[in-house]
């Protein structure tokens, strides 16, 4: 088994001919947020499992070794492509509790209280992750379910040494753990976590054993159901037993579109990722990106302008398609996008207040984790799953050992009020019982001339979509290796606020001055996201791209 844990490399060296590549493997590969989880997935495939078997094992391993975002109490999306080219997408996004109301986060004066939707039990949506893994395995898995959970159970019981980054995050969350829980049965509580300390989670092991034995019923019924509801209601949350028992994942049609020789399969609503990727790449197809150079002011100006248009549409139109009529066909039509294209000034920044969502004639009718897997037969899966914020709502189920999400913040708690990622939403994403909140998660599989080419996704809240976009373009338009593309500094614009965010490695001083002269407002921010991707090379080998921004690791053989 080969593995790769990338170090930060100054990608500006690429301009001077110094190149680097991620792990290359012949047979199969897993790229995930933690080496422990990637290793588990590879071992499953070495023992005869397929990509879905490996994905189930990786997901539950991440729930143990990556508690900041790996989860039992969250949700997500999966894009699966068989070796024959059939593509399936599964929505296991969380839902709003049956007792939730449209204005539940407004105070007595009718003003939004964003903190209510971000921390504590009132922020918790109905978890979908366990149901999602069961549904995936029942349809496409080949290995014994119990064997796939065994590695996660062992790591929860025996413990594992935490990394320096994990220790830092654990130290930072201590006050919140005490504030938002009514019990102290939390293994993450401790003074002075350090790299190499062992984290043991016996309650989580017990919950995993229940899921191992009873599958879906081990989480959504019985003792775990009682523990979960008791913990949430004691802390002021709304979940009921019926919320858990009635939860169902949904198989949906992928968002499918072409960009030159490439065909994309990405997640549809309630994920906004596929729609926005399609819109942005349609606009960019009208410009000679390769001739502009990597992260030049001309290239980044166009990137910013197409992002501005797409995120404006996101705010107005997108929501759960089971609850609102979303004009997806129109949003992706050439006629609509050509009209929007006329709003792009190729020289100067367009103020966001001058850009509204496009006019459509309606017709009736930031903590996440991603992993990419390709198996020896050529099956591929991209899964993005989340608790939303780091450690979600900060509420841990007493006796269960796992955190619950704070996904209710991804609704529009009040039209025009931004969520924790600065995203503004409207009526289409208003709260309603049983409704799925809009997401930015963008698990994506890409073909080139009919063959599997790339499996990609990222965490990062609202910045997920632009991170995936840039990783793809870094390879295809600018000729970077996958590892270079993943490590390369990123920029992001989301319409509102009207700011072009950039990582410190994304821009040099000259480019900053040129973008400012074009009318852009720039703001440097800390590194974000963690793109984990796999590319199939022309000779059939697999190249891994594991983001240096986290503890991410590529493994294969």
Q: What residues act catalytically?
A: 368
Whether the CB-CB separation of 292 and 273 falls below 8 Å is answered with no
User: What is the spatial distance between Cα 135 and Cα 133, in angstroms, rounded to a whole number?
Assistant: 5
Find residue 255's DSSP bridge partners. Answer: 266
> Residue 101 CB: number of other CB atoms within 10 A?
13
**Per DSSP, what are the bridge partners of residue 456?**
444
Write out the two tokens for 451: 């063959």
42 and 31 Cβ atoms separated by less than 8 Å = no
Q: Report which secondary-structure segment, H or E, holds 305.
A: helix 297-317
CB atoms within 10 A of CB 339: 12
Please give the Cα distance from 327 to 316 (Å, whole number): 11
The string of DSSP codes covering 457-509 is ----GGGHHHHHHHHHHHHHTT---HHHHHHS--EE--SSS--EEEETTT--H
Q: Is 257 helix (H, G, I), strand (E, B) or coil?
A: strand
How far, in Å, CA of 366 to CA of 384, rounded?
Answer: 13
Give me Rg for the CA atoms of the chain: 22
From CA 217, how far away is CA 201, in angstroms rounded?
21
Show the CA angle centred on residue 308, arms to residues 484 and 271, nearest 5°. 75
* Alpha-carbon span 186 to 189, nearest angstrom: 6
Q: Cα–Cα distance between 290 and 129 in angstroms, integer?
A: 40
d(CA 61, CA 403): 15
What pairing do the DSSP bridges indicate for beta strands 522-525 and 500-503? parallel
Of all helices (H) and strands (E), which one includes residue 241? Answer: helix 241-245
Of residues 334, 89, 60, 74, the one with CA closest to residue 204? 60
Sole residue written with tokens 């991707």? 533
- Find tokens 């407004």 and name the residue: 106
The bridge status of strand 250-252 relative to strand 380-386 is: unpaired
Element (H, E) at 240: none
Coil, helix or strand at residue 194: coil
Q: How far apart are CA 334 and CA 466, in angstroms?
A: 21
* Packing angle of the helix pair 145-158, 35-46 (nearest 10 deg): 150
Look at the block and give the residue holding tokens 């830092």: 168
């Amino acid at each position: 088994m080969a593995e790769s844990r990338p170090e930060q490399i100054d990608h500006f060296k690429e301009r001077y001919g110094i190149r680097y590549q991620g792990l290359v493997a012949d047979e199969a590969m897993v790229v995930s947020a933690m080496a422990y989880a990637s290793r588990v997935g590879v071992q499953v495939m070495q023992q005869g499992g397929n990509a879905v078997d490996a994905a189930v094992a990786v997901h539950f391993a991440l729930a143990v070794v990556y508690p900041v975002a790996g989860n039992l109490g969250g949700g997500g999306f999966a894009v699966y492509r068989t070796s024959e080219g059939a593509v399936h997408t599964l929505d296991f996004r969380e839902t709003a509790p049956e007792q939730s109301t449209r204005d539940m986060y407004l105070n007595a004066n009718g003003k939004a209280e964003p903190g209510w939707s971000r921390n504590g039990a009132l922020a918790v949506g109905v978890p979908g992750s366990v149901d999602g893994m069961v549904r995936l395995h029942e349809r496409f898995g080949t290995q014994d379910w119990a064997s796939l959970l065994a590695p996660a159970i062992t790591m929860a019981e025996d413990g594992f040494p935490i990394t320096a980054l994990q220790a830092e995050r654990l130290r930072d969350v201590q006050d919140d753990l005490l504030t938002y829980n009514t019990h102290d049965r939390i293994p993450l509580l401790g003074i002075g976590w350090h790299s190499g300390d062992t984290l043991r989670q016996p309650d989580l092991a017990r919950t995993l054993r229940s899921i191992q034995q009873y599958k879906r019923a081990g989480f959504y019924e019985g003792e775990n159901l009682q523990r979960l509801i008791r913990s949430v209601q004691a802390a002021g949350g709304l979940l009921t037993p019926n919320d858990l028992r009635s939860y169902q994942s949904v198989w949906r049609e992928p968002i499918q579109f072409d960009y030159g020789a490439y065909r994309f399969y990405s997640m549809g609503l309630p994920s906004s990722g596929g729609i926005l990727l399609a819109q942005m790449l349609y606009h960019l197809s009208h410009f000679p990106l390769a001739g502009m150079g990597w992260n030049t002011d001309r290239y980044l100006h166009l990137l910013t302008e197409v992002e501005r248009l797409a995120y404006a549409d996101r705010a107005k139109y997108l929501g759960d398609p089971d609850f609102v009529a979303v004009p997806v066909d129109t949003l992706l039509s050439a006629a609509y996008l050509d009209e929007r294209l006329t709003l792009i000034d190729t020289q100067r920044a367009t103020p966001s207040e001058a850009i509204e969502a496009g006019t459509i004639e309606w017709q009736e009718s930031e903590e996440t984790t991603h992993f990419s897997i390709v198996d020896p037969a050529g099956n591929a899966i991209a899964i993005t799953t989340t608790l939303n914020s780091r450690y979600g709502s900060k509420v841990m189920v007493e006796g269960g050992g796992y955190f619950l999400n704070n996904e209710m913040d991804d609704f529009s708690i009040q039209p025009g009020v931004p969520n924790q990622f600065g995203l503004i939403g409207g009526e289409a994403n208003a709260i309603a019982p049983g409704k799925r909140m809009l997401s930015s998660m963008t698990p994506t599989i890409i073909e080139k001339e009919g063959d599997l080419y790339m499996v990609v996704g990222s965490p990062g809240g609202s910045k997920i979509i632009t991170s995936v976009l840039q990783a793809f373009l870094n390879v295809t338009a600018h000729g970077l290796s996958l590892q270079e593309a993943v490590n390369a500094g990123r920029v992001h614009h989301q319409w509102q606020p009207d700011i072009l965010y950039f990582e410190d490695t994304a821009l040099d001083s000259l480019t900053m001055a040129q973008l400012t002269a074009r009318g852009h407002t720039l703001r440097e921010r800390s590194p974000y996201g963690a793109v984990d991707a796999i590319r199939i090379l022309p000779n059939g080998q697999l190249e891994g791209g594991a983001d240096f921004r986290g503890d991410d690791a590529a493994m294969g053989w």
